[in-house]
Structure 1
Amino acid sequence: MYPDIPIRDWTFENVSGGTTGEPVKFRHSGKFFETDQGAKLLFDEWSGRKIGDYQIRLWGSERDIVSGKKDWMNKIYRWMRNEVFLNTFVMSEDVIKKYINVINETKPKMILAYVQSIMEIVKYANLNHIEMYSPRGIMTSAGTLDEQMLEEIQKVFKCPVFNRYGSREMGDMACSCNKNEGLHINTFVSYIEVLDGNYESCNLDEEGQLIVSLLSDYSMPIIRYAIGDRGALSSKTCTCGRGLPMLKCVTGRIIDFFKTMDGRIVYGDYFTHLFYPCTNVKQFQVIQDAIDHILVKLVFFDKDVDNKGFYFEKENEIKKAMGEGTKVDFKIVDDIPVSKSGKRIYTICQI
């Protein structure tokens, strides 16, 4: 027997993040909403948050925070989930200090955050020797969480850090657990493939582009959707015993991969590792606008510091990866705006 599927049963329109261009519109049914909320509750439980526990959400999308006529619905939903949204669309020094005070004073059981948003708070707390309240857990999303970032967040907040993978159009697809051995795939509603450049299946543990299918939406099925991310399926199962197939890693957006003159590929995370530890760097963005040219935009905490040695060191480190023939320019700016989806893009390949 086939399920009784309503024809064109859709309840709301959604859009993709639009990180790399114009957002794509989707239609979602109530079934999608139900299953996605179930995934959120499940992943929350893994991170130590029970239903009704107070949560702070460091989120950067204006669409999630200010939604016009539907704003009253979002307010009711947040009240029911006992969530407080802190808008990280603009993270000035004053805003960061305010949010640190909110976290320390209200003591949330859990923090759900954009990766770059929590990292800006971590960096500011480290720089100013601020002691942070320790929630039961921190869940990061909407960005690549590497081991260095995870360790820095754990060091400042002194709590477990979990990594969630999802998207606006697909919902929550995978999440790490307390074992941190990869991301459990939400196979109840998601199917994930990893394909190479010829659209052939990659071997387990082999990195390729992620192709995703949504199994829970009857109004507008999304099948074998090239979501624009790269990652690898794991050959191992997690020792937690849950038994779900695993994503070994999600390594980032396809646009994060830079191209060298000799045909190599350099992952954008190489550049984030160059600039994240720099205490005087408030914001940065690395752009490849030609095969032989890298532009680095920088926002400094203190503009008066002599940075000649800094520029020389970073230029050499970039050339080690991209090739000695690469021209590197640095541009000091007052701010690096976030994208339409509220995320600050650290690395961009335009070729």
Structure 2
Amino acid sequence: MSSIYTKIVSSMLFPLHEKLKKHDTVEIRKSLEQSQWFSKAVLKQNQSKRLQKFIQTVYEHVPYYREMFDSANLSPVDITCSEDLAKLPFLDKTTISTNFEKLKSDIAGSLSRFNTGGSSGQPLIFLLGNERVSHDVAEKWRATRWWDVDIGDKEIVAWGSPIELGAQDKVRLIRDGLFRSELIPAFDMTEQKLLSFLSTIQKTKPKMLFGYPSVFDLLAKTAKQHGIQMDNLGIKVAFVTSERLYPYQRDNIEATFGCPVANGYGGRDAGFIAHQCPQGGMHLSYEDIVVEIIDPQGNPLPPGQSGEIVVTHMGTSEFPFIRYRTGDIAVMSDKTCACGRGLPMLEAIEGRSTDFVVALDGTILHGLSLIYILRDMESVEAFKIIQETKQHTHVQVVSKSGEVNQQMRDTIMTGFQARLGAEVSVTVESVAEIAPEKSGKYRYVISKVSTT
């Protein structure tokens, strides 16, 4: 049961915060909490209506799509449901980069510049408006409340994005303090810092945890090694996202913190695609996002078959994501969840995962700490990082100019040695393309060094 303070935050302070930011989050969340109980047939009908309106708006106001429709002799009326999206071409990172200005709506409001974390090896720069942010926050809020926790309940967030970590100004600190959300950085994880994080969690006694599964798994291992009890703090749920959640991680986190793990799937670019409910269903954000599963040839696949996730986010009329290829692999389910929600589900998510790397002195670093060095270099098209040993890391780089020059090599080496150790050997290899693993999947951070 929520405390009086939590109720004040969730019903007054957070809605005021969202209103000041010109977000329609509260109204959207209330609508989503009603629609989640609709039948699949009604949800499908509502999705089709919204998709038609979305496509019409995009055609009228976004130059790229108007030109694309006209050149293909298509009209917005040709898209009446999700199945009709197959008539349209896919959207990928290269297409967005090439047509960046044309993808902006001519009636767009204020747009903010964002970029992906780069774990795919090819960072993406794109724009988000209030419409998209409002829907994303509302989807996350709805899923949070499934677990009998709410905004205003004490929360520990383990995160590593410089967007979050760089925004800790006074206003942000005051806001997080009011909402009782405490951020711990997820990059530089020495044993001393891991123990400090565990101590913070013990003192805070949060109702929920939120962050990378790999980080909470590492915290769980550290607690076990030092005999630190963490399952008596009253934590109700650990929300994990941004990486693939492995069964062993779920088991370890649940056993150590004494709470269930709720998996979430999505990204800055594609939005919050799916959330796990207490009965285990990975429910799609169906009211906002159309999800297709395709084979390597681009053909739609039925439930039960593994393929690439393609997303159409209907809250992106100001900078549209239509049939956006995520590069992640998943399986659609045709089952009905025991929770009673009509929202369709993903059966399995086999997406990318980001490994840890180990510095020469034994410090465990999140793989993103190296990814960001390459992601922020404009001349880098794609990359792959292989930590062979503590003493040697190999980096494959695809340069936009076709060749990795000495300045690029020096920047990479300096950045990596600053994190891994000055004595670490860093080999930078210029390649034409990044090859997939034998399984056909891509991994962009691979560490062959044990973290235990």
TM-score between the two structures when normalised by the length of structure 1 = 0.70
More helix by share: 2
Among candidates 112, 125, 148, match of residue 223 of structure 2? 125
Among candidates 189, 199, 203, match of residue 91 of structure 1? 189
Find the counterpart in structure 2 of residue 276 from structure 1: none
Matched letter for residue 250 of structure 1: I
Cα deviations by residue, 1:91-144 (Å, 9 ceiling, x for unpaired) = 111111110000001101100011111111011112222111340110000111
Cα deviations by residue, 1:230-254 (Å, 9 ceiling, x for unpaired) = 111012121110111001121122x
Q: Structure 1 residues 11 and 79, CA, compared in 2 at 3 Å: closer, same or farther?
A: farther
* TM alignment of 1:45-60, pairs within 5 A: 45-60=145-160
Alignment of 1:113 with 2:226, yes or no, is no
Distance 1:127 1:283 in 2: 19
Distance 2:53 2:301 in 1: 33
Find the counterpart in structure 2 of residue 243 from structure 1: 342
TM-score between the two structures when normalised by the length of structure 2 = 0.55
Matched letter for residue 87 of structure 1: P
Shift of 1:345: 6.4
Distance 2:364 2:158 in 1: 18
Matched letter for residue 145 of structure 2: E
Alignment of 1:168 with 2:241, yes or no, is no
Matched letter for residue 164 of structure 1: G
> What secondary structure sits across from 2:326 in the alignment?
strand
Cα pair 1:47 1:177 within 8 Å, conserved = yes
Alignment of 1:136 with 2:242, yes or no, is no
Find the counterpart in structure 1 of residue 293 from structure 2: 194
Q: Which portions of structure 1, spanning 4 or more consecutive aligned residues, are displaced by more than 3 angstroms?
A: 1-6, 71-77, 280-285, 295-299, 333-337, 344-348
**Identical amino acids, percent of aligned pairs:** 27
Shift of 1:22: 4.3
Matched letter for residue 122 of structure 1: A
Give the greater-gyration-radius structure (CA): 2
Alignment of 1:146 with 2:246, yes or no, is yes
Find the counterpart in structure 2 of residue 205 from structure 1: 304
Distance 2:214 2:418 in 1: 18
Matched letter for residue 163 of structure 1: N
Distance 1:212 1:221 in 2: 11
Cα pair 1:29 1:217 within 8 Å, conserved = yes
Find the counterpart in structure 2 of residue 217 from structure 1: 316
Cα pair 2:286 2:343 within 8 Å, conserved = yes
Q: Structure 1 residues 187 and 90, CA, compared in 2 at 3 Å: closer, same or farther?
A: same
> What secondary structure sits across from 2:309 in the alignment?
strand
Matched letter for residue 235 of structure 2: P
Shift of 1:16: 1.5
Distance 1:164 1:336 in 2: 30
> What secondary structure sits across from 1:129 in the alignment?
coil
Q: Structure 1 residues 2 and 239, CA, compared in 2 at 3 Å: closer, same or farther?
A: closer
Distance 1:12 1:281 in 2: 35
More strand by share: 1
Distance 1:61 1:195 in 2: 30
Matched letter for residue 211 of structure 2: A
* TM alignment of 1:169-318, pairs within 5 A: 169-180=269-280, 182-253=281-352, 297=388
Shift of 1:334: 12
Cα deviations by residue, 1:39-82 (Å, 9 ceiling, x for unpaired) = 121111113312311111011112211138xx455435434532
Find the counterpart in structure 1 of residue 180 from structure 2: 82
Distance 1:298 1:7 in 2: 53
Number of aligned positions between the proteins: 278
Find the counterpart in structure 1 of residue 200 from structure 2: 102
> What secondary structure sits across from 1:249 in the alignment?
strand
Q: Structure 1 residues 298 and 113, CA, compared in 2 at 3 Å: closer, same or farther?
A: farther
Distance 2:125 2:322 in 1: 15
Cα deviations by residue, 1:305-340 (Å, 9 ceiling, x for unpaired) = xxxxxxxxxxxxxxxxxxxxxxxxxxxx99769xxx
Matched letter for residue 199 of structure 1: G
Cα pair 2:212 2:243 within 8 Å, conserved = yes
Cα pair 1:10 1:27 within 8 Å, conserved = no
Matched letter for residue 90 of structure 1: D
Matched letter for residue 189 of structure 2: M
Distance 1:2 1:284 in 2: 42
Structure 1 residues 128-137 or 105-114, which shifts more?
128-137
Find the counterpart in structure 2 of residue 311 from structure 1: none
Cα pair 1:283 1:298 within 8 Å, conserved = no
> What secondary structure sits across from 1:7 in the alignment?
coil
Alignment of 1:31 with 2:127, yes or no, is no
Gap regions ≥5 residues in structure 1: 257-267, 273-279, 286-294, 300-332, 338-343
Cα pair 1:57 1:83 within 8 Å, conserved = yes
Cα deviations by residue, 1:243-268 (Å, 9 ceiling, x for unpaired) = 11001121122xx7xxxxxxxxxxx9
Q: Structure 1 residues 92 and 232, CA, compared in 2 at 3 Å: closer, same or farther?
A: same
Q: Structure 1 residues 26 and 334, CA, compared in 2 at 3 Å: closer, same or farther?
A: closer
